[in-house]
Amino acid sequence: MTAAETVVPDDEVIRVRGLTKRFGAKTVVRDVDLNVKRGEIVGFLGPNGSGKTTTIRMICGLLRADEGEGTALGHDIRNESALIKLKTGYMTQRFSFYEDLTIRENLDFVARLYDMKPRRKAVDETLERLGLTNRQNQLAGTLSGGWKQRLALAACVMHQPQLLLLDEPTAGVDPKARREFWDEIHALADEGLTVLVSTHYMDEAERCHRIVYIAYGTIVARGTVAEVVAESGLKTWLIHGDGSARLMAELRALPGVEQVAPFGTDIHVVGSDAAALEKGVSEVARERGLQAEPGETSLEDVFIRLMTDAQANEQ
């Protein structure tokens, strides 16, 4: 059965199986399966060079998969990429609009590309929705990172796409602008827009409904944040009052310890052998008159573990 013949549930916007992409002798994406439902925000995470961008481009038809099949918005990703592009907004890592045009002129150009009518109304409504009306006559090249990001998002959603692909959209943007950006993404998802976003920021991953972690072209974890953390099997202990390099070095040498990181004057100790971790940390803390207690394993702890394991497997 081909992808075009596959019965796709009405609420599934992305459904791909076995996606593989090679550049020369190097396989950059290997046998990727992915399902994304309508109105869902899925975070696509992984280190640089892990295959996130390549996978996104195969889904929206900018790259052709060497192997695998699937659908996006009910269209075959191999044979109907033009139809997918018309219904998709794609925000790239780099600002890709004309810096010598104003915000309005850039949006008007995009509206012409999509043959939107009435064009002026479409631009006005987009300016209003993204809070750009008061800056509409400002040159794009003079905007700060946060405002450039807002313009890029406006251009991606003004043709009212059903799928939004975001490739590390908040790199170099201040925390306030990032929060406002994510508030808008959740508002769009509430209206039925489906979002697949790649990011390096753990706080952004935690804003997603589900996350998918890819390393060396292979998906190694997926689920809600709580599910991914629980399935890692990692346990965490905190030592309060001494964040010295000497103490961290001693902790790293203990049985059961896999990660040690300073947080101010505290130390965050992580491992998968719960009994050995508790015994070692408690003894060290008691010898130094420090307080030790169980802590909460973070998503960052899990991703460091996944990255370390992936590197070992690749080597």
Tell me the average pLDDT across 220-248. 94
Contact 53, 222 (CB under 8 A): no
For position 4, what pLDDT does the model report? 37
The model's pLDDT over 121-170, given as tens digits with 9 standing for 90+, comes to: 999 999 999 999 999 999 999 999 889 999 999 999 999 999 999 988 88
- Higher-scoring residue by pLDDT: 178, 22: 22
- Higher-scoring residue by pLDDT: 173, 75: 75
pLDDT band at 187 (very low <50, low <70, confident <90, very high): very high
- CB neighbourhood size of 89 (10 A): 24
CA 64 to the chain's CA centroid: 22
Alpha carbon distance 300, 192 (integer Å) = 29
Q: Map out the domains of the chain as residue ranges.
A: 12-228, 235-296
The model's pLDDT over 56-75, given as tens digits with 9 standing for 90+, comes to: 999 998 999 999 999 999 99
- Higher-scoring residue by pLDDT: 115, 311: 115
CATH architecture of the domain 12-228 equals 3-Layer(aba) Sandwich (3.40)
For position 86, what pLDDT does the model report? 92
Query: What letter does residue 135 receive in the DSSP assignment?
Result: G
Strand ranges for the chain from DSSP E = 12-23, 26-37, 41-45, 67-72, 75-76, 88-91, 163-167, 194-199, 210-215, 218-223, 235-240, 259-263, 266-271, 291-295
Q: Say whether pLDDT at 7 is over 50.
A: no
- Higher-scoring residue by pLDDT: 1, 305: 305
* b (16+ CB within 10 A) / e for 47-59: beebbbbbbbbbb
Alpha carbon distance 90, 196 (integer Å) = 10
Q: Say whether pLDDT at 171 is over 80.
A: no
For position 9, what pLDDT does the model report? 52
pTM reported for the whole predicted model: 0.88
12-228 and 235-296 in the same fold: no
Residues contacting 113, CB < 8 A, separation 6+:
none
For position 161, what pLDDT does the model report? 95
Alpha carbon distance 132, 152 (integer Å) = 11
Report the mean per-residue pLDDT for the chain.
91
**Hey, what CATH topology would domain 235-296 get?**
Alpha-Beta Plaits (3.30.70)
Tell me the average pLDDT across 196-210. 91
The model's pLDDT over 41-60, given as tens digits with 9 standing for 90+, comes to: 999 998 888 899 999 999 99
Give me the amino acid identity at 19: L
